[in-house]
């Protein structure tokens, strides 16, 4: 139990700004903390969706969508958005592997990052516009957890693509048992949203694996933390859009 609390403390401390009981923060999370990342995503999503639903009772719908879009970024400390921007600049650049890894370290963001962020934001806002406010807590909890589970699952296959203290998170693989249990919990949550939503779990795992393989080929066969951030930020709007559509289907 102590190891579980420690993993949760590190995961919430590193990947969110939520005021939970934190362990002493490490330079980077370890494999157990990575396995807890879907729980962080579920918490951020549920709180964001609840906030958006409350807003829907007070002000017009555009503000509901803005809340549902902005709250996860704020509550995550924008860590996945930052990874998305850095990865976009590096992976899409026409450059050597070494140069791409250098670009990822550059705190400045270039044209690829700006263009990718605009496209991702547009799709995110469109996906959120299809959600009924009452469904937002469940859908955002589901998308937040599933996007992170699908991203973290790649750590079972790909090595870390950069030397340094951050590589400690990938010295051992995330516990497979924990990932399976989280997938089982997601099936239960999916069934509460709508018929067939559970199918997004294997679909997201496959999509994440395909994108990760492509990114690894561009970065010298390994993945970096920025790639994991890219996967999370890019997967969430797709999951939201499909889950919202399936939630509107009548149950048989």
Contacts of 25 (CB under 8 A, 6+ apart): 10, 13, 14
The whole-number pLDDT of residue 24 equals 52
Reply yes or no on whether the pLDDT at 69 is more than 60. Answer: yes
Whole-number Cα distances in Å, 80 to 83, 98, 100, 166, 216: 5, 23, 19, 15, 18
Higher local confidence (pLDDT), 139 or 31: 139
Whose tokens are 């999916």? That residue is 190
To the nearest 10 degrees (0 to 180), the angle between helices 225-247 and 176-193 is 30
Q: Are 218 and 100 spatial neighbours (Cβ–Cβ below 8 Å)?
A: yes
Reply yes or no on whether the pLDDT at 92 is more than 90. Answer: no
Higher local confidence (pLDDT), 161 or 183: 183
The whole-number pLDDT of residue 216 equals 86
Convert the pLDDT of each residue in 12-26 to its tens digit.
888 998 877 655 555
Contacts of 19 (CB under 8 A, 6+ apart): none
The whole-number pLDDT of residue 63 equals 97
Higher local confidence (pLDDT), 222 or 150: 150
The whole-number pLDDT of residue 110 equals 80
Higher local confidence (pLDDT), 164 or 91: 91
> Residues for the chain: how many in total?
252
Convert the pLDDT of each residue in 170-204 to its tens digit.
667 888 899 999 999 999 999 999 999 999 999 99
Whole-number Cα distances in Å, 157 to 13, 183, 213, 223, 249: 26, 18, 10, 10, 36
Q: What is the pTM of this model?
A: 0.91
DSSP readout, the chain?
-HHHHHHHHHHHHHH-------PPPPSS--HHHHHTHHHHHHHHHHHHHHHHHHHHTTS-HHHHHHHHHHHHHHHTTTHHHHHHHHHHHHHTSSS-HHHHHHHHH-SS--HHHHHHHHHHHHHHHHHHHTS-GGGHHHHHHHHHHHHHHHHHGGGGTS-BSS-SGGGGGGSSPPPHHHHHHHHHHHHHHHHHH-TTGGGHHHHHHHHHHHHHHHHHHHTTS-B-HHHHHHHHHHHHHHHHHHHHHHHTSPP-
Mean of pLDDT over the chain: 87
Residue 201 C-beta-side C-alpha neighbours within 13 Å: 20
Reply yes or no on whether the pLDDT at 209 is more than 80. Answer: yes
């Amino acid at each position: 139990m102590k190891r579980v609390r420690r993993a949760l403390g590190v995961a919430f401390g590193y990947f969110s700004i939520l005021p939970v009981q934190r362990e002493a923060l490490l330079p980077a999370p370890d494999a157990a903390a990575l396995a807890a990342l879907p729980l962080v995503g579920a918490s951020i999503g549920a709180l964001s969706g609840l906030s958006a639903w409350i807003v829907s009772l007070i002000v017009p719908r555009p503000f509901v969508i803005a809340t549902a879009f902005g709250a996860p970024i704020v509550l995550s400390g924008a860590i996945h958005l930052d990874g998305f921007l850095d990865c976009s600049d590096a992976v899409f650049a026409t450059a050597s592997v070494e140069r791409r890894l250098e670009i990822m370290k550059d705190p400045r963001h270039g044209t690829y990052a700006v263009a990718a962020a605009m496209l991702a934001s547009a799709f995110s806002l469109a996906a959120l516009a299809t959600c009924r406010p009452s469904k937002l807590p469940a859908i955002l909890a589901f998308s937040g957890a599933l996007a992170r589970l699908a991203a973290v699952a790649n750590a079972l296959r790909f090595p870390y693509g950069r030397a340094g203290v951050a590589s400690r998170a990938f010295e051992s693989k995330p516990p497979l048992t924990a990932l399976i249990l989280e997938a089982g919990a997601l099936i239960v949550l999916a069934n509460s949203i709508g018929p067939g939503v559970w199918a997004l779990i294997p679909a997201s795992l496959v999509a994440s694996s395909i994108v990760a393989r492509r990114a690894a080929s561009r970065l010298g066969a390994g993945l970096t933390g920025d790639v994991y951030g890219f996967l999370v930020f890019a997967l969430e709007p797709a999951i939201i859009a499909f889950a919202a559509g399936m939630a509107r289907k009548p149950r048989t």
